Amino acid sequence: MSAALQARVGQRWRKPAFIKRPWLRYTLLIGTFLYLVAAIASIEVNWSRVYEGLDRGVAFIASFTNPDFTSRATDIWEGMIESLIMTVASSVVGILISIPIGLGAARNIAPLPVYVICRGIVAVSRALQEIIVAILLVAIFGFGPLAGFMTLSFATIGFLSKLLAEDIESMDKSQAEAIRATGSRWMQWINYGVQPQFMPRLIGLSMYRLDINFRESTILGLVGAGGIGATLNTAFDRYEFDTAAAILILIIGTVMFLEYVSGLIRARVQ
């Protein structure tokens, strides 16, 4: 037995620590704990206000037991239809635009200038929260679903392009290389060597985004960008909690349905 082996046999073996320097490791650990304690202590809770508010909360939840679908039926119906149209239209437009941007944002297939521009578009789209974009677009285009549609399309581009680009960056290089070796053009290379690799992910992400866009479309109404959110907002403003409950139930049902369908489709495209 060699000396090096002799020294190790009979000794305990532990996985090396992620942060090697013990003082740094413990400083970080204790620091995190202290910060957490300080942060929780800094939250101010007005317990008497919470006690008063509980009644309202109960009234709100109680209204779910008798949701009112009928008295505002036409408003609810129109709002739902508007939301669904916004969702589908913005998803389709957003997905179509995000495919070229996603290709451009993948470092392994795009030249540097294209990459920088496409990453820039993605960064801007992701940095701006939907509500902020919606407020801006409502100011430009006025109240209504057009602003909502544009907001959701814009948000879809950021989301889908980024994830698509990351999928392309992690693709199998040899498959793409083999297609390049046949003397294919760039477009053929993408179509044969790259597209088959990212297609399942694109379909999965698109379904997921459709689902997100519907949920977002219910919020955008709060800032006047159309859809069921506008109807919901009106119901709250009039203290018609039973109508609001009916709308929320419809939203929850639709989201669950979309979730189920998109899960089904994603499982099948692998």
Q: How many residues interact with another protein (rule CB under 8 A)?
A: 22
Scan residues 149-188 and list those touching another protein (CB under 8 A).
172, 174-175, 177-185, 187-188
Q: Which is nearer to another protein, 62 or 178 (CB)?
A: 178
What is the token pair recorded at 229? 């959110």
Q: Which is nearer to another protein, 25 or 173 (CB)?
A: 173
- Centroid of chain to Cα 249: 22
Q: Which is nearer to another protein, 193 or 227 (CB)?
A: 193
- Containing H/E element for 163? helix 145-169
Q: Which of 197, 203, 215, 259 binds another protein (CB under 8 A)?
A: 197
> What sign does the CA torsion over 230, 233, 239, 243 have?
positive
d(CA 81, CA 243): 17
Q: Alpha-carbon dihedral of residues 124, 128, 130, 132, nearest 10 degrees?
A: -130
Provide, rounded to whole angstroms, the least separation between the CB of residue 196 and another protein.
4
Is 108 a binding residue for another protein by CB under 8 A? The answer is no
Q: Which is nearer to another protein, 124 or 269 (CB)?
A: 269
Q: Which of 85, 200, 236, 263 binds another protein (CB under 8 A)?
A: 200
DSSP 16: P
Q: Which of 158, 193, 204, 224 binds another protein (CB under 8 A)?
A: 193
Provide, rounded to whole angstroms, the least separation between the CB of residue 182 and another protein.
5
Q: Which is nearer to another protein, 169 or 177 (CB)?
A: 177
Q: Tell me if 226 sits within 8 A of 82, measured CB to CB.
A: yes
Q: Cβ atoms within 10 A of the Cβ of 128, count?
A: 16
Is 199 a binding residue for another protein by CB under 8 A? The answer is yes
Provide, rounded to whole angstroms, the least separation between the CB of residue 197 and another protein.
7
Helix axes 195-220, 145-169, angle to 10 degrees: 150
Is 234 a binding residue for another protein by CB under 8 A? The answer is no
Provide, rounded to whole angstroms, the least separation between the CB of residue 164 and another protein.
16
- List of residues 6+ apart from 268 with CB closer than 8 A: none
Provide, rounded to whole angstroms, the least separation between the CB of residue 113 and another protein.
17
Q: Tell me if 194 sits within 8 A of 184, measured CB to CB.
A: no
Provide, rounded to whole angstroms, the least separation between the CB of residue 98 and another protein.
20
d(CA 98, CA 193): 19
What is the chain's length? 270
Provide, rounded to whole angstroms, the least separation between the CB of residue 40 and another protein.
50
Residue written as tokens 């793409």?
176
Kindly list the residues in this chain that would bind another protein in the complex (CB under 8 A).
Answer: 172, 174-175, 177-185, 187-189, 191-193, 196-197, 199-200
